[in-house]
């Protein structure tokens, strides 16, 4: 044991002399761990919020009864079930708009809440009398109180709004209150959205309430978890990519350290330390370094997650209506998994060194042997790259789903990255063949000699660039399509939502008296569930506004006329894909009275909406969803009279309005949601690029320390050191440029995969594939800048080398 | 009296409010609620039903049963009504009334119980006077015909259920002073009447096994707004079926200072009540049993000097513990001595 410690000290002494390499190693591992664990923390936080939201009332393992048609069901079903011996507890959930944000109202019934339920402990804190007797009480998490300005007097919010108090275990953006009060506040008298099942009665469900309700098993993922899956997979994919790029640095550092330490290793072995003890000491060293770097990485990751969290939360809110807590909670599992990932990464980077140390013949110590041997690996590496690529293709072909799509992207990227050094080596060899001047010949040969040391850094640059081009292309393409589509879709000049049905009728009458109003178009909406997926039904009239402008991907003949007849529907692309429906197919829409059977007469794009959507005629909507609020409208009005109308409407009907906006505002809002959604992607993209730059920087810097041996003879032959420095700089730029060129097809492939596979599978919409040469140029410039930044310091150092330093190389040789 | 009922009524509130006093609200003053005053005449069938305006009320039925082989069983059915605010009841969820049901089945070796809670006003629980029905979830006590002479009783709990048919040929018996039942020296009281003459036939199901049973039952009806004094910490309550059709109710309210408030009613076989004076009654615990939840008396010596009664009671099942939100002991007992027979015992505050 003592021997192992002394060996360890001998090994560690190396780092004191090679601080840069140590820094690279620690930085690489820290960054890899940070990016990975940071994203994991974001995902875990979001998932926890979904679970909290889904299990806000019932625990995670309780079953629930929900309407078979989706939406609400009458309270009498609850009473009937209780009277039949079913131990169920009523819940009414809904949302109200407050401060331009959505506040989730959760109405519960404290007496019947199962004891295991998450909020069952609520009673102890609250006091039953206060909770269920007028004026009642609302409870929300502290952050919710701040967000919605619910602290202090809330009398201005209306009669039904109760005094609000703090309850830290309340889910984010939610207000918990008595079910009776929630019915008043949401204007849903005698209606419920869910029953939590504590135990079933003897009588079967259908005997008690007919076909109105269905049982939902607890382990079924919440809708949010399913809907947001792709979003999180997207983040995870980026985290994995960054982790991989970080590991390249670690791998390069370990490889370099191993080479540099061959002398120490040989000496240690020669003085009698067994291979076993040596490897044990190296393992200890690895452990200590990983602990240090992993710990730092976790701190960094936590910080990163905290910095990105508000953005992620905002994206999830605007995209999916998912309320994600902006308080990052640190779970022990997260620390553990982050450290495990750091160890897995470190071991995977160092194991080949460990094995070789174990098998190393004591007498063989030729430095650079590893690097030279590396050439022999090239062919194998190329083969491996091709295999990975093929495996990814096969996985996608046989797998399917967006996971397979990501696997295809990952496999292709890794494959192409592995092939990069091989391709570059061939290119350099080709270059060498055409060179006829001695210096250029040396240049090509020396470049080939340097390639193994830089290949990992170049591979990581390749991946980062390709991701940049790929994701950038996808996002830009999406933006283009989205903006165009918004322009077509947002035709009406004014949009409003009335406070309730009565208010809507009043406003309608008021608008009817205004001469400048050309049309009042209902956009009534309600929720339903089709094939266990949440969906929205819209009621509209086939006004020329829609006939002429509403963007459709495909439509049957006389689609709009058929829609007016009431037995046809337009469905969104997402819904069509999810349910595999085409024109002419019948769709069963669970409605409040019975199931509405409609023929699909049109399919329309609905970008950015995670929920399936369908549109039916307004009269049919009224008939089949008599209880749904009919409060949303859009107004056609002469553009120059729009502002005046909005002003008058606001002035005269203000109290009846819940929301009022003009087209520009709605459009701006949609676009800002879009931008926010991709802000996180952009941030991760940039981070990956930074990591790649660091990898290149450290590789060049560490290589430079050993380059003197190759450069000194060239200098001795008469090439000045500044000139040598320029050559070095040019070489690096050529490497970077080649990598960028190589990254372009990979990036395009990535972009295509995202648009044609991942988006379709994950979101259900297919965007037209666009290419953006401007972005490529940008990526190319970035690559050169990164290379320049990385190569500049070593080049300057080289230019400033004194003859004495260069001469010392020969002295050492002697 | 059925102070036990009170107990349970509090139960309602126990998980929700930190009771300032030992009874979780029963001893609390009740401003705004209707007061209990002497000299009020009961009117039936109206008084079978609920009494809005009062804070607390209960319908309490206990049955001593036997199967074909003579083995003893007990059954309990209770509904408590608790108003959370004074004044008239609101509609729907604003009703302001909370109901709580307790049900139990006891044999020599088993004691299974259940509890359920419901809000008034939405049809999940309630009581009507005529025709009489008290219900909560799928438990009910329902009159067959007018009044409460013939009742159908049913409850379902985890691993047990029962369905019993009850018949009585005598009218309700007024407790205390014509129904005004004093509970403390400081004047707390309730309105209280009983129907102790039921004969019972029916079936109980214990862990999947159905048993045909028959026997006797006793119903208590009581309502008040502040039935206990704030310094009373628990009570012991007996309802006894004496030989020759006589009935006896005895209670002891244990004061925090060690002073007990004792009372009782001797009911003749034809249903005529006689109020017993405290000095006439002796209630004395003999032996204690240790249960996991509490240590409490299992054998009692009871005496009523004026009637030459001197008996020792023993539980059918000493472990008749009601592990409900507000827990207490409630179970069938047998007694011997000067008189032999059976009855029910409730003990709270241990």
What pLDDT does B13 receive? 37
Tokens found for residue A108: 């519960």
pTM above 0.90, yes or no: no
B24 pLDDT tier (thresholds 50, 70, 90): very low
Picking from B16, B27, B9, the residue whose alpha carbon sits closest to that of residue B233 is B27
Task: Sketch the domain layout of chain A as residue ranges.
Answer: 1-55+242-363, 62-217, 368-487+668-814, 488-667
A598 pLDDT tier (thresholds 50, 70, 90): confident
Which of the pair, A454 or A166, is modelled with greater confidence?
A166
C-alpha dist (Å) from residue A744 to A328, A477, A739: 37, 16, 9
Q: Is A183 at the interface with chain B, CB within 8 A?
A: yes
Q: In chain A, what residues touch B89 (CB-CB under 8 Å)?
A: none
Q: Is A125 at the interface with chain B, CB within 8 A?
A: no
**What average pLDDT does the segment A748-771 reach?**
80
Tens-place pLDDT, residues A385-412? 888 888 888 887 777 777 777 788 888 8
Nearest residue in chain A measured CA to CA from B139: A83
**What average pLDDT does the segment B136-152 reach?**
95
Nearest residue in chain A measured CA to CA from B115: A112
Which of the pair, A715 or B286, is modelled with greater confidence?
B286
Q: Is A140 exposed, middle or buried (0-12, 13-18, 19+ CB in 10 A)?
A: buried
3-state helix, strand, coil split of chain A in percent (to 5) is 65, 15, 20
* Statement: residue B4 has pLDDT above 70: no
What pLDDT does A375 receive? 60
**What average pLDDT does the segment B173-178 reach?**
94
The answer to whether the CB of A98 falls within 8 A of the CB of A109 is no
Write the residue in A123, A129, A134 that is nearest to B94 by C-beta.
A134
What pLDDT does B14 receive? 33
What pLDDT does B52 receive? 92
Shortest Cα distance, chain B CAs vs residue A81, angstroms: 8
A594 pLDDT tier (thresholds 50, 70, 90): confident
CA neighbours closer than 13 Å in the CB half-sphere of residue B145: 8
Write the residue in A75, A84, A111 that is nearest to B98 by C-beta.
A111
CB contact under 8 A, A79 and B124: yes
The answer to whether the CB of A258 falls within 8 A of the CB of A356 is yes
Residue A531 has phi, psi (to 5 degrees) of 55, 40
Question: Would you give the end-to-end CA distance of chain B in angstroms?
Answer: 19
The span from the CA of A539 to the CA of A249, in Å, is 57
What pLDDT does B237 receive? 95
What pLDDT does B72 receive? 96
* Statement: residue B2 has pLDDT above 50: no
The span from the CA of A617 to the CA of A751, in Å, is 38
Q: What is the mean pLDDT of chain B?
A: 89
**What average pLDDT does the segment B185-189 reach?**
85
Which residue of A121, A132, A139, A179 to mutate against B (max B Cβ within 10 Å)?
A132
Q: What is the mean pLDDT of chain A?
A: 80
Ramachandran region, residue A162 (left: φ > 0; alpha: ψ -120 to 50; beta: rest): beta
Picking from B126, B59, B130, B60, the residue whose alpha carbon sits closest to that of residue B99 is B126
What pLDDT does A376 receive? 67
**What average pLDDT does the segment B115-143 reach?**
95
What pLDDT does B133 receive? 96
Tens-place pLDDT, residues B190-200? 999 999 999 99
Write the residue in A84, A111, A201 that is nearest to B119 by C-beta.
A111
- Torsion sign over Cα B33, B39, B40, B42: positive
CB contact under 8 A, B93 and A181: yes
Ramachandran region, residue A520 (left: φ > 0; alpha: ψ -120 to 50; beta: rest): beta
* Statement: residue A677 has pLDDT above 80: no
Nearest residue in chain A measured CA to CA from B119: A111
Tens-place pLDDT, residues A518-561? 888 888 888 887 877 778 888 888 888 888 888 888 888 888 88
Which residue of A78, A83, A110 to mutate against B (max B Cβ within 10 Å)?
A83
Nearest residue in chain A measured CA to CA from B137: A83
**What average pLDDT does the segment B302-318 reach?**
97
Q: Is B334 at the interface with chain A, CB within 8 A?
A: no
What pLDDT does A312 receive? 76
Peptide bond connecting B131 to the previous residue in cis, omega within 30 degrees of 0: yes
What pLDDT does A499 receive? 78
**What average pLDDT does the segment A211-223 reach?**
70
* Statement: residue B11 has pLDDT above 60: no
Q: Which residue matches tokens 């003749």?
A: B268
Which of the pair, A712 or A256, is modelled with greater confidence?
A712
* Statement: residue A199 has pLDDT above 60: yes
**What average pLDDT does the segment A259-282 reach?**
82
What pLDDT does A56 receive? 59
The span from the CA of A407 to the CA of A233, in Å, is 11
B101 pLDDT tier (thresholds 50, 70, 90): very high
**What average pLDDT does the segment A53-82 reach?**
78
CB contact residues (below 8 A), chain B span 261-280, against chain A: none
Shortest Cα distance, chain B CAs vs residue A124, angstroms: 5
Which of the pair, A450 or B117, is modelled with greater confidence?
B117
Percent of chain A with pLDDT over 70: 88
* Statement: residue A325 has pLDDT above 80: no
What pLDDT does B10 receive? 35
Picking from A67-81, A587-601, B115-129, B152-166, which range would have the lowest pLDDT averaged per residue?
Answer: A587-601
* Statement: residue A22 has pLDDT above 80: yes
* Statement: residue A772 has pLDDT above 60: yes
The span from the CA of A194 to the CA of A78, in Å, is 9
Tens-place pLDDT, residues A776-796? 888 888 888 888 887 888 788
Tens-place pLDDT, residues A234-252? 777 777 777 777 777 777 7
What pLDDT does B6 receive? 37
Tens-place pLDDT, residues A554-585? 888 888 888 888 889 999 888 888 888 888 88
Tens-place pLDDT, residues A97-132? 777 777 888 899 988 887 665 565 555 566 777 888
The span from the CA of B97 to the CA of B78, in Å, is 16
Total residue count of chain B as it appears in this document: 350
What pLDDT does B22 receive? 30
Q: In chain A, what residues touch B135 (CB-CB under 8 Å)?
A: 83
**What average pLDDT does the segment B159-179 reach?**
94
CATH class of B3-347: mainly beta
Shortest Cα distance, chain B CAs vs residue A134, angstroms: 7
Nearest residue in chain A measured CA to CA from B92: A180
Q: Is A160 at the interface with chain B, CB within 8 A?
A: no
CB contact under 8 A, A133 and B85: yes
* Statement: residue A225 has pLDDT above 60: yes
Q: Which residue matches tokens 């666009």?
A: A770
């Amino acid at each position: 044991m003592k021997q192992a410690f002394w060996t360890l000290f001998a090994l560690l002494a190396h780092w004191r002399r090679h601080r840069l390499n140590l820094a690279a190693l620690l930085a690489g591992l820290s960054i890899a761990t940070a990016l990975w664990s940071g994203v994991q923390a974001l995902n875990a936080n979001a998932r926890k919020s979904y679970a909290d939201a889904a299990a806000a009332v019932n625990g995670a393992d309780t079953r629930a009864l929900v309407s078979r048609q989706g939406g609400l069901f009458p309270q009498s079903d609850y009473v009937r079930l209780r009277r039949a011996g079913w131990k169920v507890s009523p819940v009414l959930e809904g949302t109200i708009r407050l401060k331009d944000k959505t506040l989730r109202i959760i109405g519960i019934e404290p007496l019947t809440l199962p004891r295991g339920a998450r909020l069952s402990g609520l009673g102890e804190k609250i006091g039953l009398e206060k909770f269920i007797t007028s004026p009642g009480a609302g409870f929300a998490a502290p952050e919710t109180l701040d967000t919605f300005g619910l602290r202090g007097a809330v009398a201005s919010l209306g009669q039904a709004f109760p005094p609000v108090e703090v309850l830290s275990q309340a889910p984010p953006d939610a207000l918990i209150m008595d079910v009776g009060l929630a019915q008043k506040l949401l204007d849903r008298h005698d209606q419920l959205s869910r029953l939590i099942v504590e135990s079933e009665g003897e009588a079967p469900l259908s005997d008690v309430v007919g076909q109105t309700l269905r049982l939902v098993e607890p382990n079924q993922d919440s809708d949010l978890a399913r809907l947001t899956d792709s979003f999180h997979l997207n983040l995870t994919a980026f985290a994995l990519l960054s982790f991989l790029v970080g590991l390249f640095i670690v791998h390069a550092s370990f490889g370099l350290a191993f080479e540099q330490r061959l002398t120490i290793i040989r000496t240690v072995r020669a003085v009698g330390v067994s291979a076993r003890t040596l490897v044990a000491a190296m393992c200890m060293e690895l452990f200590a370094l990983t602990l240090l770097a992993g710990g730092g990485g976790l701190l960094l990751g936590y910080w990163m997650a905290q910095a990105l969290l508000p953005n992620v939360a905002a994206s999830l809110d605007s995209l999916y209506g998912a309320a994600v807590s902006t308080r990052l909670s640190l779970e022990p599992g997260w620390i553990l998994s982050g450290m495990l990932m750091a160890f897995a990464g470190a071991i995977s980077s160092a194991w080949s060194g460990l094995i070789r140390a174990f098998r190393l013949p004591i007498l063989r110590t030729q430095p650079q042997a590893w690097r030279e041997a590396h050439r022999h690996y090239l062919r194998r590496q190329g083969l491996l790259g091709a295999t990975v690529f093929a495996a990814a293709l096969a996985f996608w072909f046989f797998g399917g789903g967006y996971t397979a799509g990501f696997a295809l992207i990952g496999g292709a990227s890794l494959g192409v990255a592995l092939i990069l050094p091989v391709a570059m080596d061939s290119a350099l060899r080709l270059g060498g063949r055409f060179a006829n001047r001695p210096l250029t010949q040396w240049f090509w040969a020396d470049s080939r000699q340097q390639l193994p040391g830089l290949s990992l850094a170049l591979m990581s640059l390749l991946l980062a660039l390709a991701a940049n081009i790929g994701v950038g292309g996808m996002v830009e393409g999406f933006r283009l399509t989205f903006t165009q589509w918004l322009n077509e879709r947002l035709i009406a000049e004014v949009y409003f939502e009335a406070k309730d049905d009565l208010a809507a009728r009043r406003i309608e009458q008021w608008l009817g008296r205004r001469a400048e109003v050309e049309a009042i178009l209902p956009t009534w909406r309600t929720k339903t569930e089709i094939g266990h997926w949440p969906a929205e039904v819209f009621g509209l009239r086939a006004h020329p506004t829609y006939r002429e402008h509403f963007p459709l991907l495909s439509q049957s003949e006389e689609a709009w006329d058929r829609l007016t007849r009431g037995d046809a529907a337009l469905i969104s692309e997402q819904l069509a894909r999810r349910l595999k429906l085409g024109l002419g197919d019948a769709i069963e829409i669970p409605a409040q009275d019975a199931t509405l059977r409609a023929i699909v007469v049109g399919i329309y794009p609905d970008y950015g909406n995670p929920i399936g959507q369908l549109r039916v005629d307004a009269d049919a909507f009224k008939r089949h969803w008599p209880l749904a609020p009919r409060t949303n409208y859009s107004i056609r009005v002469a553009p120059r009279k729009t502002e005046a109308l909005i002003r008058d409407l606001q002035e005269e009907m203000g109290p009846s309005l819940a929301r009022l906006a003009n087209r520009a505002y709605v459009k701006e809002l949609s676009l800002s949601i879009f931008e926010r959604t991709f802000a996180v992607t952009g941030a991760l993209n940039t981070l990956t690029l930074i990591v790649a730059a660091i990898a290149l920087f450290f590789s060049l810097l560490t290589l430079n320390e050993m380059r003197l041996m190759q450069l000194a003879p060239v200098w001795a032959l008469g090439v000045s050191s500044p000139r040598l420095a320029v050559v070095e700089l040019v070489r690096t730029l050529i490497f970077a440029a080649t990598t960028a060129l190589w990254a372009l097809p990979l990036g395009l492939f990535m972009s295509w995969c995202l648009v044609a596979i991942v988006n379709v599978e994950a979101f259900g919409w297919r965007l037209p594939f666009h290419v953006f040469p401007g972005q490529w140029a940008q990526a190319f410039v970035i690559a050169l800048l990164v290379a320049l930044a990385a190569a500049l310091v070593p080049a300057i150092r080289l230019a400033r080398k004194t003859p004495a330093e260069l001469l010392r190389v020969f002295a050492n040789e002697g | 009296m059925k102070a036990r009922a009170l107990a349970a009524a509090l139960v309602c509130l126990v998980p929700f409010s930190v009771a300032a006093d030992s009874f979780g609200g029963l001893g609390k003053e009740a401003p705004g609620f209707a007061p209990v005053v002497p000299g009020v005449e009961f009117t039936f069938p109206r008084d079978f039903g609920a009494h809005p305006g009062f804070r607390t009320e209960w319908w309490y039925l206990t049955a001593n049963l036997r199967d074909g082989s003579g083995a003893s069983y007990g059954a309990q059915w209770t509904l408590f009504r608790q108003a959370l605010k004074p004044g008239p009841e609101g509609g729907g969820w604003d009703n302001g009334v909370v109901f709580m049901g307790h049900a139990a089945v006891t044999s020599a070796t088993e004691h299974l119980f259940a509890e359920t809670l419901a809000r008034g006003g939405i049809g999940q629980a309630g009581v009507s006077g005529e025709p009489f029905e008290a219900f909560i979830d799928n438990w009910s006590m329902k009159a067959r015909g007018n009044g409460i002479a013939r009742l159908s009783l049913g409850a379902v709990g985890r691993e047990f259920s029962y369905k019993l048919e009850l018949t009585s040929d005598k009218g309700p018996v007024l407790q205390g002073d014509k129904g005004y039942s004093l509970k403390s020296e400081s004047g707390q009281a309730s309105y209280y009447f009983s129907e102790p003459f039921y004969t019972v036939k029916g079936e109980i199901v214990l862990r999947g096994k159905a048993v045909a049973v028959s026997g006797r039952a006793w119903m208590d009806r009581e309502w008040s707004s502040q039935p206990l004094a704030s310094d009373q910490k628990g009570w012991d309550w007996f309802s006894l079926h004496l030989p020759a059709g006589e009935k006896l109710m005895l209670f002891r309210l244990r004061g925090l200072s060690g002073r007990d408030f004792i009372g009782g009613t001797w009911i003749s076989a034809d249903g005529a009540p006689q109020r017993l004076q405290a000095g006439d009654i002796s209630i004395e615990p003999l032996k204690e049993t240790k249960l996991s939840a509490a240590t409490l008396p299992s054998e009692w010596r009871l005496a009523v000097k004026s009637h030459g009664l001197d008996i020792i009671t023993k539980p059918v099942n000493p472990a008749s513990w009601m592990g409900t939100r507000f827990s207490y002991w409630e179970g069938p007992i047998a007694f011997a001595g000067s008189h032999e027979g059976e009855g029910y015992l409730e003990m709270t505050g241990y």
